[in-house]
Structure 1
Amino acid sequence: MTVNLIRRREDLATALRALEGTVPAPLARLLTLLGSVLTIASCFLSWTWTDRFPGDLTVAGYPGGLQVLTLTAGLLLLLQTLSAYQLRGLGWLAPAGQTRALRLLALGALAVTWYTLGAISGELGGLANLEPGGFVAGIAVLPALYGTLALPGDRREATPAQARPLWQELLVIAAIAAAGLYVFTYGIETEYGELFVGFLLVIGFSAGAYAQAGLLARASALFARRRPWASAAAFLAAAAFPLTQSSEQYANLGVNILIFATVALGLNIVVGLTGLLDLGYVAFLGVGAYTAALISGSVFSPFRGAHVPFLLAALIGAAVSVVFGVLIGAPTLRLRGDYLAIVTIGFGEIFHIAVNNLDGKSGPKITNGPDGIAQIPDVSIFGFNLGSAHQLGSITIGRFANYFFLMLIVTLVVVTVFSRAGNSRIGRAWIALREDETAAEAMGINGFRTKLVAFALGASLAGLAGTVSAHVTYNVVPTPYVFAGSTAPNSAFLLAAVVLGGMGTVSGPLLGASLLYLIPEKLTFLQHYQLLAFGVALIVLMRFRPEGIVANRRRQAEFHQSDIPAQAAGSEDSVSLSQAGA
C-alpha cells in the first residue's frame, strides 16, 4: 500500500510538472490575473437563496461569512500576481520566486471556495440550493489555478534583505504584530465551525505561500536583528487583545489558550530541548493547581484557615512541582526512550488516581476526591482584585481580561526562562543529550544531573501556570489531569502542541497550543475524535514538515540533511558537543 501511495504521489508530481510551459508565461500570468479578479467579483454575488446557511450568503453586493474569506484569498492572489509583473513597490513580495507562492495561493482560493459550496450543498440538501453566483465562484478559481500550474518554475535563493533605517524596520515590525493580532482575533471570534474551517484553509495556504516566497524567512531575519523591539511589539499586541473584546467569552478563551501554551512551553524543555518523552507532564500542572487551591482560602480546602497571598502561592506551587519533579525524575531518568515514556505515563495515572482517592473515604480528606476543591477566591495583588471589572477610560476590563493580563506576564516569565536556559551552557548540554546521550557523556556532560535539571525546571513552569489556572476556573477537579481525555489540557494535547508547533522553539508550542485548543472549541464534532485528529495531523506533518510548523533551524537541518553538505553538518555537531561539555 505504501509503495502504491508513493507511486501515485510521483505520478501526480510528474503530471503537475507536465503542465509547466503548456502555455507561454505571459498568457499563464494573464490567466492567473483574470482568475483572481473573477474570484473577487464572484464574492459580490449571491451564492445561495436562503439565510439558513450561516453567514447569510444571499445578499448581492455585500460579501458575508465565508465569502469574505474567498474575497481575502482572491485579493492575496491578485496582489502576488501583480508583483509578478514587476510593478513598482511590489517586488519585495517574492524574494525567493513567485511560482510556488502563486500556486499555493490559488489552491487556497480553490479550497475555501469549493469548501463553501460543498458546505452549502451538504447542509441545505444538494446543489439546487446554490445560486448562479456560487457556480461562478466555483468556476472562477479554475483559470487562476491552471495559470499558476502552467508557469515555469523560478525557485531561487532569496537574497538577504538590505538593512533599513531603524524607524522603517520598527514600522514593519509593528505592522506584522498588528496583522498577527488581527488574524488571532478574527480566528478566535469566528462564530460557527464552517467559518473557522475556512479561516484555517486561508491561513494555512497563505502561510505556506509566503514561506515559499521567502517572506517568512525575511521576517524571521528582521526579528532576529531587532529582537528586543520584536519581543516588545509581540507583547504589546498580545496585551491589546482583551481591549478588542466586548464579550468575556473570547477573553476566557484567550486565558485558557495562554495557560495551555505556557504549559506546552515548559514541556518543550523536557521534550524539545532534552529529548525526554514525558507522557505524564500534565500532572505537574495539577500539582500547582491543587497546591494553590489548598492554600488560597477556599472553604472546601482542609486548610481553609490558610489564605496565602497569590504571589507567595505561585512560588509555593512552583516549588512543590519541583519537589515532585525531582522525586519522580531521580529514580526514573536513568531510563531511556520507551521505558521512560511508560514510567511517566504511570506517574500521570498515579497522580490522577491519588487525587481521586484523597476524599476522606478511600484515603485522607485532602483533595475531596472527584468533587475537587471549589470556590477558590479570585486573585488580589496589591489590593487589585482580578475578579472585579475595572474601567480603562471607556473600555471595561472584565474578570477574564484581568486574568489574561496576569497570564500574559506569567507567559513572559516562562518565555524568558526558556530562552535564557536554552541558550545557556545547560541548554547546550540538553541539546547534546538529545542528539546523542552516549557521545555527550563522553564529552564530560553529567547526563543524569542535566536531565534532572530539565525535568525539575519543566515541572516548575507547569506548576506556576497551574496556580493561575486554579483561580481562573474557581475549582480544581481531577478530570483534566490524564494522559488523554475530552477536555484540555491533558498530556496528549500538550505533547501534540509541542510536536506540531515545532520542538525546541519558543513560538512553535505557543502556535501549536493555540490551534489545538481552538479547534475542539470551534469544531464541536471533533471533541470525541481528538486522538484520531491528532494522529492524522501528525501523519500529515511527518510527511510534509517533520520539523514542525515553526522549525528550529537545527532540527530543520537534521530533517533535510540532503540539502546540507555532510562536512558542514558534521562540524556543527562537533561544535555543539564541545560547547556543551566546556
Structure 2
Amino acid sequence: MSDVAVKAPDAAPPKPAARRDPVRLLRRLGWLVLLVVLLAVPLYLDAAWLKAGQYMMIGGVGAIGLTLLVGQAGQLSLAHAFFLLAGGTAYTVLSGPADDTRVFGLGLDPGLSLVGAVVVSAGLGLAFAPVSGRLRGIYLGVASLSLVFLGLYFGQSAEKLTGGTSTGRSPTPFSLFGFPFTNDGPQFELLGIPIRQAERTWYLFLLLTVIAYVVARAAVTSRVGRSWRAVRDNEAAASVMGVNVIRAKAGAFAVSSAYAGLAGAMTVLWFDILKPDESEFGTYGINVSIAFLAMVIIGGLGSVPGAVVGALIVNGLPQILSLYSADLGWFSGTGDGALTPILISSFVYGAAIILVVLFEPGGLAAIGRRISRRAGRSRRSPSASPPAASSRETGHTPEEQGR
C-alpha cells in the first residue's frame, strides 16, 4: 500500500448568495406602498371621489380579462359589453327577491350570487368556443361584436330578468357573511372616520381588484399562459408541441368572460340599477367594448399592470373631469355638439391610441419595462463582468408579458 497521502479534493467553495435585484425589490416595495395608500384613501377622500375610484376599479377588472384574451391569447374580441351585461343580469337575478311579482329572482345570498355571476359569464364565454376556436383576427372581432347587439336585444326584451329599459331593476345590496356594504347594519369608525356605504364599497371593490390581478398574474406565468402565447404566436407550432389549440382558445375566452362578468356585477352595484341602455353612451353598448379595447392598447397588450393603468386613464378621466367641471363650471353645455366630460375623454384616449400605435406599440407597459431595464443597468458596478444576456434582455419572457 502506498504511503503517499492522497490529498482529498478541496471542498467546493460555497456559492455566493444570489444578489437581489434592486429593481425588483423597489417594485415590490412600490406595490406595498400603493396598497397601503389605497387602504388609507377612504379616510381622506369624500364619497364623490371614492365613487370615481370605484369606477376605475371596475374598468381595471374588465381590462385585465380582456388583455388576457387579446394580448396573451391573441384573440380579438369586441364582446366585452355583452359579458358585462350578462354578469350584471346574473347577479341581479340570482340575488333578487323570489316574491317579487314584477321581476324574477332566486333570493340567493349576495356573496354566492356574485360567484354565480362569474360562473354564468364564463359559461357563456365557453358556449362561444365553437366560434372563437375557429376564427381569428378581424373575423373573430366581427363575430364577437354580434353578441353585443344580441345582448341588448334580449336584455331589453326579457323584462322579467332585467326590468326593461323604461324602469330597469335595482340589484340586491351586497353583503358578505351577513355584513352589509350599505349604511344599514352595524356602524363603526376607523381613526375617527365613519365607515359608511362609500367606504365599504371601496374596500369591497379593492379586494375584488386585487384578487383579479393576482389570479391573472398567476395565469400568465403558468402552463395555461404559455399555451395561450403559443397559440397566439403560431397555431401550427403550438399544435405540434401538444397544445390543444381549440381548447386553449376556448379557455382564454371563458376566463376573459368571467372577468367581464365580475366587472358587470360590480357595475350594477356601482350604479345601483340594472338597465340595458341603448343610448350613445350606454353602459352595455359597443362604445363600452371599444373603451375596454382602448384600455388594453394604451396599457400594452398582454400586460396585466398595463391594463389597470389603461383603465385608470379611460374610466378615470371622465369621472375626474365631471367632478372638476361641477366645481369650476366646465363642460356644462347640453344638446348636440356640447362638450361633455365623456366626449372630451373619448377624444383624449382616442388620441392616446393613435400615439401608442405610431410611436410605442407596446403601450405604457413597454415604456415601463424600458425604464426598469435602464435602472437595473445603471445600478451595476462598471468593473463587474457583464452577466450573460438573459431572455429578459433579448426579448419578452413569459413573466414579462404580464408586466
Q: TM-score, normalised by structure 1?
A: 0.53
Aligned to 1:483: 286
Give the equivalent residue in structure 2 for 1:370: 165
Asked if the contact 1:280/1:349 (under 8 Å) is kept, the reply is: no
Structure 1 residue 294: deviation in Å?
Answer: 1.2
Q: 1:549 aligns with which of 351, 361, 364?
A: 364
Identity fraction in percent? 28
Determine the structure 1 residue equivalent to 2:74.
Answer: 275
Q: Which amino acid aligns with 1:302?
A: V
Alignment partner of 2:315 out of 517, 524, 529:
517
Question: SS of the residue aligned with 1:241?
Answer: helix
Aligned to 2:376: none
Separation in 1 of the partners of 2:345 and 2:36?
33
| Partner in structure 2 of residue 450 of structure 1 | 248
From 205, 208, 215, give the equivalent of 1:417. Answer: 215
The match for 1:288 among 79, 87, 94 is 87
Cα separation, partners in 2 of 1:465 and 1:390, compared to 1, 3 Å: farther
Looking at structure 1, the residues matched to 167 and 75 of structure 2 have their Cα atoms a distance apart, in angstroms, of 31
Q: Is the Cα contact below 8 Å between 1:410 and 1:465 reproduced in 2?
A: no
Structure 1 position 314 matched with structure 2 position 114:
yes
* Alpha carbons 1:314, 1:464 under 8 Å: kept: yes
Q: 1:395 to 1:369 in 2, by over 3 A?
A: same
Rounded Cα–Cα distance in structure 1 between residues aligned with 2:395 and 2:55 = 39
Mapped contact 2:317–2:345 kept (Cα < 8 A): no
- What is residue 8 of structure 2 aligned with on the other side? none
User: Per-residue deviation at 1:372?
Assistant: 5.5
Give the match's secondary structure for 1:291.
helix
8 Å contact kept, 2:300–2:363:
yes
* Residues 1:403 and 1:301: Cα distance change in structure 2 (over 3 Å): farther
Deviations 1:100-125 (A, max 9, x none): xxxxxxxxxxxxxxxxxxxxxxxxxx
Partners of 2:165 and 2:275 within 8 A in 1 = yes
Between the aligned partners of 1:219 and 1:237, the Cα distance in structure 2 is: 22
Equivalent-residue separation in structure 2 for 1:313 and 1:352 (angstroms): 22
DSSP-derived class of the 2:194 partner = strand
Shift of 1:251: 0.7
Structure 2 SS opposite 1:445: coil
Q: How does 1:124-203 map to 2 (within 5 A)?
A: none
Offset of residue 443 of structure 1: 2.4
Q: Give the RMSD, CA atoms, in angstroms.
A: 3.0
- In 2, Cα distance between equivalents of 1:500 and 1:539: 9
| CA shift for structure 1 position 535 | 3.2
More helix by share: 1
**Partner residue in 1 for 2:336:** none
The unaligned stretches of length 5 or more in structure 1 are 1-161, 165-217, 360-364, 485-489, 557-566, 577-582
Q: Report the AA paired with residue 327 of structure 1.
A: A
CA drift of 1:346 comes to: 0.6
For residue 518 of structure 1, report the CA deviation from its aligned partner: 2.3
Partner of 1:222: 25
Gaps of 5+ in 2: 1-17, 278-282, 322-330, 332-338, 372-388, 399-403
Change (3 A) 1:222 1:452: same
Code of the aligned partner of 1:535: G
Once residues 393 and 529 of structure 1 are traced to their aligned partners in structure 2, the CA distance between those partners, rounded to angstroms, is 38
Residue 503 of structure 1 contacts residue 552 of structure 1 at CA under 8 Å; is this kept in 2? no
Aligned partner letter, 2:198 = F
Q: Is residue 2:353 matched to residue 1:538?
A: yes
Q: CA deviation at 1:231?
A: 4.1
4+ aligned runs moved over 6 Å, structure 1? 552-556, 571-576
Q: After superposition, give the CA deviation of every residue in 1:75-108 in whole Å (9 maximum; x if it has no partner).
A: xxxxxxxxxxxxxxxxxxxxxxxxxxxxxxxxxx
Aligned to 1:22: none
Question: What is the aligned residue count?
Answer: 337
Deviation digits for residues 339-358 of structure 1 (CA, Å, limit 9, x no counterpart): 00000101111111110122
Distance change >3 Å, CA 219–CA 386, structure 1 → 2: farther
Name the aligned partner's letter for residue 456 of structure 1. Answer: A
1:346 to 1:234, Cα distance in 2 relative to 1, 3 A? same
Counterpart check, 1:337 vs 2:137: yes
Correspondence for 1:527: 342
CA distance in 2, matches of 1:326, 1:267: 15
SS of residue paired to 1:349: helix
Change (3 A) 1:243 1:300: farther
Tell me if the contact between 1:279 and 1:345 (Cα under 8 Å) persists in the aligned partners: yes
Contact 1:328 1:347 in 2 (8 A): no
- Whether 1:384 aligns to 2:182 is no
Post-superposition CA distance 1:14-53 (Å, at most 9, x none): xxxxxxxxxxxxxxxxxxxxxxxxxxxxxxxxxxxxxxxx
Aligned-partner Cα distance in 2 for 1:552–1:336 = 28
CA distance in structure 2 between the aligned counterparts of 1:540 and 1:465, rounded to whole angstroms: 28
Indicate conservation of the 8 Å contact 1:252/1:400, yes or no.
yes
Q: Summarize deviations over 1:528-575 as a string: whole Å, max 9, x none.
A: 36554443221112222221112289999xxxxxxxxxx998x97899
Q: Which has the higher contact order (CA 8 A, sep 6+)?
A: 2
Distance across 2 between alignment mates of 1:309 and 1:347: 29
Structure 1 distance, partners of 2:167, 2:59, is 20
Larger gyration radius, structure 1 or structure 2: 1
The one of 192, 212, 235 equivalent to 1:394 is 192
Q: Which of these residues, 230, 235, 238, is aligned with residue 35 of structure 2?
A: 235
Q: Which amino acid counterpart does residue 472 of structure 1 have in structure 2?
A: W
Moved more, 263-272 or 456-465: 456-465
Which amino acid in the other structure matches residue 178 of structure 2? G
| Match of residue 427, structure 1, among 225, 236, 245 | 225
Q: Is the 8 A contact 2:61 2:209 kept in 1?
A: yes
Report Cα offsets for 1:474-526 as digits up to 9, x if no partner: 11111211111xxxxx1111110111011222221111111112222344535
> What residue number does 1:470 align with?
268
Instruction: Assess if the C-alpha contact under 8 Å between 2:306 and 2:365 holds in 1.
Output: yes
Contact kept? 2:170, 2:274, Cα under 8 Å: no
Q: Aligned pair in 2 of structure 1 residues 395, 301: CA closer, same or farther (>3 Å)?
A: farther
In the aligned structure 2, how far is the partner of 1:300 from the partner of 1:397?
35
Q: CA deviation at 1:312?
A: 0.6
Separation of aligned partners in 2, 1:469 and 1:456: 20
Give the 3-state SS of the residue equivalent to 1:551 in structure 2.
helix
SS at match of 1:549: helix
Quick one: structure 1 residues 472 and 553, their matched pair in 2 at CA, closer, same or farther if it must change by over 3 Å? closer
